[in-house]
Amino acid sequence: MKNILVTQGLYLDDRKNLYSKLDYTWYQYAKKLRFNLIPISFEAKLNTLETRKIDGIIFSGGNNLNTLKKKKENLLRDIFEKKLFSYFSKKKIPILGVCRGMQLISQIHKIKLNKSKNHVTKGHDIILMNDKRINVNSYHNYIIKNVPNNFNLVGKHMKDNSIEIISCKKKKILCLMFHPERVSKSQKKVDKIFKDFFKI
């Protein structure tokens, strides 16, 4: 089985205690597609990852980027995940950005984020560059309208042309604005995108 790391959401409780949280649907998704999901703490030391066999990493959803909503937990997560992205990018290990993960990777590549309309808890059609369509879930408050340098446009929203899928030209990086681990009408096609990327 492939070993795939996943980042977690970072939150402060009422007592100002910091904790990590990962949506349980990720564990269900890993079981369904048969890969080992390994949550990673924001305090993890990058040099400790050297001893593991890692086949990929998922930058998951949850939280906002700190530039969009200034909070301690958002800032801490941004700092850690930017270091993590740089580390795995240099290692040429497959990187999947999901929702917030796609927003983070876009921001790293100097792409502006815009407030979305009608993208939260909505299913919608995406037109792929091969002229096929898929219907996916949507939970994001922000969208991107431009493709980062060295990335290809793979899929865009049917109505507002916001960018939903991009892939890096030179490295194994794929970004999805929707959540593969949550149910979509075109779930089998979404699963195929995920499995083809990680070669599961």
Q: Would you give the end-to-end CA distance of the chain in angstroms?
A: 8
Task: Please list the helix, strand and coil fractions of the chain in percent, rounded to the nearest 5, in that order.
Answer: 30, 30, 40
Q: Which domain holds residue 23?
A: 3-198
Find the length of the chain: 200
pLDDT of residue 51: 67
Q: What is the CATH number of the domain that holds 162?
A: 3.40.50.880
| Cβ contact 97:105 at 8 Å | yes
| Cβ contact 179:61 at 8 Å | yes
Task: Count Cα neighbours of 65 within 13 Å in the Cβ-side half-sphere.
Answer: 23
- Based on its alpha-carbon atoms, the radius of gyration of the chain, rounded to whole angstroms, reads 16
| Percentage of the chain exceeding pLDDT 70 | 99
pLDDT of 168-188, one tens digit each? 999 999 999 999 999 999 999
| Percentage of the chain exceeding pLDDT 90 | 78
pLDDT of 106-130, one tens digit each? 999 999 998 887 777 778 899 998 8
Q: Number of structural domains, the chain?
A: 1
Q: Report the C-alpha gap between 35 and 191 in whole angstroms.
A: 13
CA 51 vs. chain centroid, Å, equals: 24
pLDDT of 43-72, one tens digit each? 888 878 776 799 999 999 999 999 999 999
The DSSP call for residue 162 is: -
Q: What is the mean pLDDT of the segment spanning 4-14?
A: 94
CA distances from 27 to 41, 42, 61, 104 (A): 16, 19, 14, 23
pLDDT of 22-46, one tens digit each? 999 999 999 999 999 999 988 888 8
The DSSP call for residue 120 is: B
Q: Report the C-alpha gap between 171 and 6 in whole angstroms.
A: 19
Nearest to 125 by CA among 61, 189, 194: 189
CB atoms within 10 A of CB 198: 18
pLDDT of residue 61: 95
pTM here is 0.95
Q: Report the C-alpha gap between 97 and 59 in whole angstroms.
A: 5
Q: What is the mean pLDDT of the chain?
A: 93
Helix or strand or coil: residue 72? helix
